[in-house]
Amino acid sequence: MSAVRRSIQVYDLLARRGAMGVRAVAQALDLPLGSVHRLLLDLADEHVVERNAAGEWELSFRLLEVTGLQLERIELPRLARPFAERIAEATRETVNLNALSGGFGVCIDKVRGNEGMQLDFRIGARSPLHAGGAGKAMLAYLPPALRGQLLRGPLKAHTINTITDKVELNAELDRTRARGYSIDNQEVVLGVWCVAVPILDRTGNAVGALSISGPHPKAPGNTIAPLVAMLLEACGHVSRRIGYAGQWPLVGQAPLPDADNTVPFPQRRAAGKSRGDALPPSRG
Protein backbone atom coordinates (compact mmCIF):
# COMPACT_ATOMS: atom_id res chain seq x y z
CA MET A 1 0.00 0.00 0.00
CA SER A 2 1.36 3.40 -0.98
CA ALA A 3 2.16 6.11 1.56
CA VAL A 4 -0.41 8.37 -0.09
CA ARG A 5 -3.16 5.81 0.38
CA ARG A 6 -2.16 5.24 4.00
CA SER A 7 -2.15 8.99 4.60
CA ILE A 8 -5.67 9.32 3.23
CA GLN A 9 -6.81 6.46 5.45
CA VAL A 10 -5.34 8.27 8.45
CA TYR A 11 -7.06 11.55 7.45
CA ASP A 12 -10.39 9.78 7.11
CA LEU A 13 -10.05 7.89 10.38
CA LEU A 14 -9.11 10.94 12.45
CA ALA A 15 -11.84 13.01 10.79
CA ARG A 16 -14.48 10.43 11.68
CA ARG A 17 -13.33 9.41 15.15
CA GLY A 18 -11.41 12.42 16.44
CA ALA A 19 -8.19 12.21 18.43
CA MET A 20 -6.60 8.74 18.71
CA GLY A 21 -3.40 7.22 19.99
CA VAL A 22 -0.91 5.74 17.53
CA ARG A 23 -1.70 2.19 18.63
CA ALA A 24 -5.44 2.75 18.14
CA VAL A 25 -4.80 4.15 14.65
CA ALA A 26 -2.65 1.15 13.73
CA GLN A 27 -5.25 -1.31 15.01
CA ALA A 28 -8.15 0.46 13.27
CA LEU A 29 -6.32 0.46 9.92
CA ASP A 30 -4.68 -2.94 10.41
CA LEU A 31 -1.24 -1.45 9.75
CA PRO A 32 2.12 -2.00 11.47
CA LEU A 33 2.57 0.16 14.54
CA GLY A 34 6.01 1.40 13.45
CA SER A 35 4.76 2.38 10.00
CA VAL A 36 1.86 4.33 11.43
CA HIS A 37 4.11 6.09 13.92
CA ARG A 38 6.51 7.20 11.19
CA LEU A 39 3.61 8.30 8.99
CA LEU A 40 2.11 10.41 11.78
CA LEU A 41 5.48 12.03 12.47
CA ASP A 42 5.83 12.88 8.75
CA LEU A 43 2.31 14.35 8.69
CA ALA A 44 3.08 16.34 11.83
CA ASP A 45 6.18 17.78 10.15
CA GLU A 46 3.85 19.06 7.42
CA HIS A 47 1.40 20.38 10.07
CA VAL A 48 -1.37 18.10 8.83
CA VAL A 49 -1.78 16.33 12.18
CA GLU A 50 -0.84 17.35 15.70
CA ARG A 51 -0.77 15.90 19.19
CA ASN A 52 -3.19 17.15 21.81
CA ALA A 53 -2.59 17.59 25.53
CA ALA A 54 -3.34 13.89 26.12
CA GLY A 55 -0.68 12.85 23.58
CA GLU A 56 -3.22 11.61 21.02
CA TRP A 57 -3.12 12.48 17.34
CA GLU A 58 -5.73 14.65 15.66
CA LEU A 59 -6.10 16.58 12.42
CA SER A 60 -4.75 20.11 12.35
CA PHE A 61 -5.96 22.84 10.02
CA ARG A 62 -3.30 22.73 7.32
CA LEU A 63 -5.72 21.02 4.95
CA LEU A 64 -8.24 23.81 5.44
CA GLU A 65 -5.59 26.40 4.69
CA VAL A 66 -4.51 24.55 1.53
CA THR A 67 -8.10 24.25 0.32
CA GLY A 68 -9.30 27.61 1.59
CA LEU A 69 -10.66 28.65 -1.78
CA GLN A 70 -12.88 25.59 -1.84
CA LEU A 71 -14.62 26.71 1.34
CA GLU A 72 -16.62 29.26 -0.64
CA ARG A 73 -18.22 26.41 -2.55
CA ILE A 74 -19.66 24.59 0.43
CA GLU A 75 -23.24 24.95 1.53
CA LEU A 76 -23.08 27.10 4.66
CA PRO A 77 -21.54 30.21 3.07
CA ARG A 78 -23.91 30.04 0.11
CA LEU A 79 -26.95 29.88 2.36
CA ALA A 80 -25.80 32.39 4.97
CA ARG A 81 -24.20 35.03 2.76
CA PRO A 82 -27.37 37.00 1.82
CA PHE A 83 -28.34 37.26 5.48
CA ALA A 84 -24.81 38.20 6.53
CA GLU A 85 -24.70 41.04 4.02
CA ARG A 86 -28.00 42.49 5.23
CA ILE A 87 -27.01 42.15 8.89
CA ALA A 88 -23.63 43.84 8.34
CA GLU A 89 -25.30 46.70 6.49
CA ALA A 90 -27.91 47.15 9.22
CA THR A 91 -25.53 46.93 12.18
CA ARG A 92 -22.33 48.34 10.65
CA GLU A 93 -20.52 45.54 12.49
CA THR A 94 -18.76 42.44 11.20
CA VAL A 95 -20.73 39.26 10.61
CA ASN A 96 -18.65 36.08 10.83
CA LEU A 97 -19.72 32.60 9.76
CA ASN A 98 -17.88 29.88 11.67
CA ALA A 99 -17.90 26.12 11.16
CA LEU A 100 -17.07 23.52 13.79
CA SER A 101 -13.89 21.66 12.87
CA GLY A 102 -11.97 19.53 15.31
CA GLY A 103 -11.46 21.42 18.55
CA PHE A 104 -11.92 24.87 17.02
CA GLY A 105 -14.25 27.14 15.15
CA VAL A 106 -13.03 27.99 11.65
CA CYS A 107 -14.06 31.22 9.92
CA ILE A 108 -15.47 30.20 6.54
CA ASP A 109 -17.04 33.51 5.51
CA LYS A 110 -17.41 37.06 6.75
CA VAL A 111 -18.93 40.39 5.82
CA ARG A 112 -17.09 43.30 7.35
CA GLY A 113 -18.94 46.25 8.81
CA ASN A 114 -17.67 49.80 8.73
CA GLU A 115 -17.18 50.39 12.45
CA GLY A 116 -13.63 51.22 13.49
CA MET A 117 -12.79 48.31 15.79
CA GLN A 118 -13.74 44.85 14.59
CA LEU A 119 -13.12 41.22 15.52
CA ASP A 120 -11.94 40.52 12.01
CA PHE A 121 -10.84 36.92 11.44
CA ARG A 122 -9.43 36.00 8.06
CA ILE A 123 -11.08 33.22 6.07
CA GLY A 124 -9.66 29.91 7.29
CA ALA A 125 -8.60 31.30 10.68
CA ARG A 126 -9.39 29.12 13.66
CA SER A 127 -10.61 30.33 17.03
CA PRO A 128 -11.07 28.66 20.42
CA LEU A 129 -14.45 27.22 21.32
CA HIS A 130 -14.38 28.34 24.96
CA ALA A 131 -13.80 32.02 24.15
CA GLY A 132 -15.95 34.13 21.87
CA GLY A 133 -19.56 34.13 20.81
CA ALA A 134 -19.42 31.66 17.94
CA GLY A 135 -17.43 29.08 19.86
CA LYS A 136 -19.72 29.14 22.88
CA ALA A 137 -22.81 29.06 20.67
CA MET A 138 -21.54 25.85 19.08
CA LEU A 139 -20.41 24.27 22.36
CA ALA A 140 -23.79 24.88 23.97
CA TYR A 141 -25.53 22.73 21.35
CA LEU A 142 -23.25 19.69 21.36
CA PRO A 143 -23.73 16.47 23.34
CA PRO A 144 -22.01 16.54 26.75
CA ALA A 145 -19.55 13.78 25.84
CA LEU A 146 -18.36 15.66 22.77
CA ARG A 147 -18.30 18.96 24.67
CA GLY A 148 -16.10 17.37 27.32
CA GLN A 149 -13.78 15.96 24.68
CA LEU A 150 -13.39 19.36 23.03
CA LEU A 151 -12.63 21.02 26.36
CA ARG A 152 -9.92 18.64 27.50
CA GLY A 153 -6.87 20.29 28.94
CA PRO A 154 -6.47 23.80 30.34
CA LEU A 155 -8.43 26.67 28.82
CA LYS A 156 -6.29 29.52 27.55
CA ALA A 157 -6.99 33.08 28.69
CA HIS A 158 -7.02 35.45 25.72
CA THR A 159 -8.09 38.47 27.79
CA ILE A 160 -8.90 39.05 31.45
CA ASN A 161 -12.54 38.28 30.57
CA THR A 162 -11.93 34.83 29.06
CA ILE A 163 -13.71 32.10 31.01
CA THR A 164 -11.06 29.54 31.90
CA ASP A 165 -12.85 27.71 34.72
CA LYS A 166 -14.74 24.74 33.26
CA VAL A 167 -17.50 24.80 35.87
CA GLU A 168 -18.12 28.47 35.15
CA LEU A 169 -17.94 27.84 31.41
CA ASN A 170 -20.50 25.03 31.54
CA ALA A 171 -22.81 27.28 33.56
CA GLU A 172 -22.46 29.93 30.85
CA LEU A 173 -23.23 27.33 28.18
CA ASP A 174 -26.39 26.37 30.08
CA ARG A 175 -27.41 30.03 30.14
CA THR A 176 -26.74 30.17 26.40
CA ARG A 177 -29.12 27.25 25.83
CA ALA A 178 -31.76 28.92 28.01
CA ARG A 179 -31.77 32.15 26.00
CA GLY A 180 -30.86 30.75 22.56
CA TYR A 181 -27.78 32.88 21.89
CA SER A 182 -24.28 33.44 23.27
CA ILE A 183 -22.48 36.57 24.36
CA ASP A 184 -18.79 37.39 24.07
CA ASN A 185 -17.92 40.04 26.64
CA GLN A 186 -14.47 41.01 25.31
CA GLU A 187 -13.23 37.42 25.76
CA VAL A 188 -11.05 37.35 22.65
CA VAL A 189 -10.17 41.02 22.10
CA LEU A 190 -10.62 43.80 24.66
CA GLY A 191 -13.00 46.40 23.30
CA VAL A 192 -14.87 43.95 21.05
CA TRP A 193 -18.20 42.36 21.97
CA CYS A 194 -20.08 39.64 20.12
CA VAL A 195 -23.45 37.91 19.99
CA ALA A 196 -23.89 34.60 18.16
CA VAL A 197 -26.51 31.98 17.31
CA PRO A 198 -25.71 28.38 16.36
CA ILE A 199 -26.49 26.60 13.09
CA LEU A 200 -27.82 23.07 13.64
CA ASP A 201 -27.77 20.03 11.39
CA ARG A 202 -30.40 17.31 10.99
CA THR A 203 -29.28 15.63 14.24
CA GLY A 204 -29.85 18.81 16.24
CA ASN A 205 -26.15 19.37 16.90
CA ALA A 206 -24.26 22.56 16.12
CA VAL A 207 -22.17 22.57 12.96
CA GLY A 208 -21.56 26.29 12.80
CA ALA A 209 -22.55 29.71 14.11
CA LEU A 210 -23.25 33.18 12.81
CA SER A 211 -22.05 36.11 14.91
CA ILE A 212 -22.15 39.89 15.01
CA SER A 213 -19.07 41.49 16.51
CA GLY A 214 -17.92 45.04 17.01
CA PRO A 215 -17.13 47.84 19.47
CA HIS A 216 -20.63 48.24 20.89
CA PRO A 217 -21.24 46.47 24.25
CA LYS A 218 -23.60 43.52 24.11
CA ALA A 219 -25.28 41.96 27.12
CA PRO A 220 -28.24 39.60 27.52
CA GLY A 221 -31.56 41.36 27.50
CA ASN A 222 -33.80 43.58 25.43
CA THR A 223 -31.05 45.89 24.20
CA ILE A 224 -29.68 43.29 21.80
CA ALA A 225 -33.07 41.85 20.83
CA PRO A 226 -32.87 43.30 17.29
CA LEU A 227 -29.47 41.66 16.74
CA VAL A 228 -30.69 38.33 18.08
CA ALA A 229 -33.77 38.49 15.88
CA MET A 230 -31.64 38.95 12.75
CA LEU A 231 -29.35 36.09 13.72
CA LEU A 232 -32.27 33.80 14.56
CA GLU A 233 -33.82 34.44 11.18
CA ALA A 234 -30.55 33.73 9.39
CA CYS A 235 -29.48 30.68 11.39
CA GLY A 236 -32.98 29.26 11.41
CA HIS A 237 -33.15 29.46 7.63
CA VAL A 238 -29.72 27.85 7.18
CA SER A 239 -30.43 25.15 9.78
CA ARG A 240 -33.69 24.19 8.09
CA ARG A 241 -32.04 24.05 4.69
CA ILE A 242 -29.38 21.60 5.92
CA GLY A 243 -31.96 19.34 7.53
CA TYR A 244 -32.75 20.55 11.05
CA ALA A 245 -36.41 19.97 11.90
CA GLY A 246 -36.56 20.72 15.62
CA GLN A 247 -37.64 23.57 17.84
CA TRP A 248 -36.92 27.08 16.68
CA PRO A 249 -36.15 29.69 18.00
CA LEU A 250 -33.74 28.05 20.41
CA VAL A 251 -35.18 29.53 23.59
CA GLY A 252 -35.70 27.72 26.85
CA GLN A 253 -33.55 24.71 26.05
CA ALA A 254 -32.84 22.78 29.23
CA PRO A 255 -29.24 22.24 30.37
CA LEU A 256 -27.77 19.05 29.02
CA PRO A 257 -27.19 16.16 31.45
CA ASP A 258 -23.71 15.22 32.50
CA ALA A 259 -24.06 11.73 31.06
CA ASP A 260 -23.73 10.89 27.38
CA ASN A 261 -26.65 12.53 25.64
CA THR A 262 -28.27 10.48 22.91
CA VAL A 263 -31.23 12.82 22.41
CA PRO A 264 -29.70 16.30 22.52
CA PHE A 265 -32.99 18.16 22.05
CA PRO A 266 -35.66 16.77 24.41
CA GLN A 267 -37.91 19.73 23.62
CA ARG A 268 -37.82 19.03 19.89
CA ARG A 269 -41.06 19.61 18.05
CA ALA A 270 -42.19 18.98 14.53
CA ALA A 271 -41.00 21.49 11.95
CA GLY A 272 -43.17 24.55 11.73
CA LYS A 273 -45.04 23.77 14.98
CA SER A 274 -42.91 25.68 17.45
CA ARG A 275 -44.38 28.78 19.00
CA GLY A 276 -42.75 31.94 17.75
CA ASP A 277 -41.16 30.26 14.73
CA ALA A 278 -39.35 33.17 13.06
CA LEU A 279 -38.07 31.34 10.00
CA PRO A 280 -38.33 33.04 6.63
CA PRO A 281 -40.02 31.18 3.78
CA SER A 282 -37.90 28.62 1.97
CA ARG A 283 -35.87 29.97 -0.91
CA GLY A 284 -34.58 28.01 -3.83
By residue count, the chain amounts to 284
**Domain coordinates in residue numbering, the chain:** 3-60, 69-241
Residue 270 has pLDDT above 80, yes or no: no
The pLDDT value given to residue 152 = 86
Cβ-proximal residues to 59 (8 Å cutoff; 6+ apart), any chain: 11, 14, 15, 48, 49, 50, 102
Q: How confident is the model at residue 46 (pLDDT cuts 50, 70, 90)?
A: confident
Whether residue 260 is predicted with pLDDT greater than 90 in this model: the reply is no
Topology agreement, domain 3-60 and domain 69-241: no
Query: How large a percentage of the chain has pLDDT more than 70?
Result: 82
Q: Distance (Å, rounded) from C-alpha 148 to C-alpha 142?
A: 10
**pLDDT value for 122:** 78
Asked if 231 and 210 count as a contact pair (C-beta separation under 8 A), the reply is: yes
pLDDT tens readout for residues 160-218: 999 999 999 999 999 999 999 999 999 998 988 999 999 998 889 999 999 999 888 89
Distance CA 112, CA 14 (A): 34
Residues contacting residue 115 through CB under 8 Å, at least 6 positions apart: 92, 93, 94, 214, 215, 216
User: Which SS3 state, helix, strand or coil, does residue 35 take?
Assistant: helix
CATH superfamily of 69-241: GAF domain (3.30.450.40)
How far, in Å, CA of 106 to CA of 71, rounded?
A: 11
What is the domain class of 3-60 according to CATH? mainly alpha
**Cβ contacts of 108-113, under 8 Å, gap ≥ 24:** 108/71, 108/74, 108/76, 108/77, 108/208, 109/71, 109/72, 109/76, 109/77, 109/80, 109/81, 109/84, 110/84, 111/81, 111/84, 111/85, 111/87, 112/88, 113/88, 113/214
Mean pLDDT (the chain) is 82
Q: Between residues 67 and 165, which one has the greater pLDDT?
A: 165
Residue 192: count of CB within 10 angstroms of its CB:
24
DSSP letters for 165-228: -HHHHHHHHHHHHHHT-EEEESSSSTT-EEEEEEEE-TTS-EEEEEEEEESS---SSGGGHHHH
Instruction: Evaluate if residue 69 carries a pLDDT over 80.
Output: no
